[in-house]
Amino acid sequence: MLNFGPMNLSDYQEKAATTALYPNVGNNPYYAALGLAGEAGEVANTVKKIMRDNDGVVDETFQKEVQKELGDVLWYVACVASEMKLNLNDIAQANIEKLASRKERGVLHGSGNDR
């Protein structure tokens, strides 16, 4: 198993890009976004199986399965970001700032992107 050591999100994004082998890489956000949707569905399906097959008990087997699926989600998030010429560190920072602002203003609950 390769060990790249600790990495930040930008490091991960850079390494993920070296394994992106899909049509028109670098100019194909559609493939990456559709892959992301599919992998998010795999996460949801695995969690559904915890309820259906394991009486809602999250055991080590299901933890490992969810971890693998979340890894695939992360890979596609990195690919979508790269396709859109965005940096994962910047995305994460902006998201935390947005959520902290919502919490401070008491609007974490609710709907709409601009609250």
22-71, pLDDT tens digit by residue? 999 999 999 999 999 999 999 999 999 999 999 999 999 999 999 999 99
Crossing angle for the helix pair 60-83 and 9-17, to the nearest 10 degrees? 80
Residue 91's nearest CA partner among 7, 13, 3 is 13
pLDDT on residue 1: 64
Residue 32's nearest CA partner among 68, 71, 83 is 83
**Which of these CATH numbers, 3.30.300, 3.40.50, 1.10.287, 1.10.3470, describes 11-84?**
1.10.287
| 115's tokens | 């609250």
Residue found under tokens 């992106």 = 20
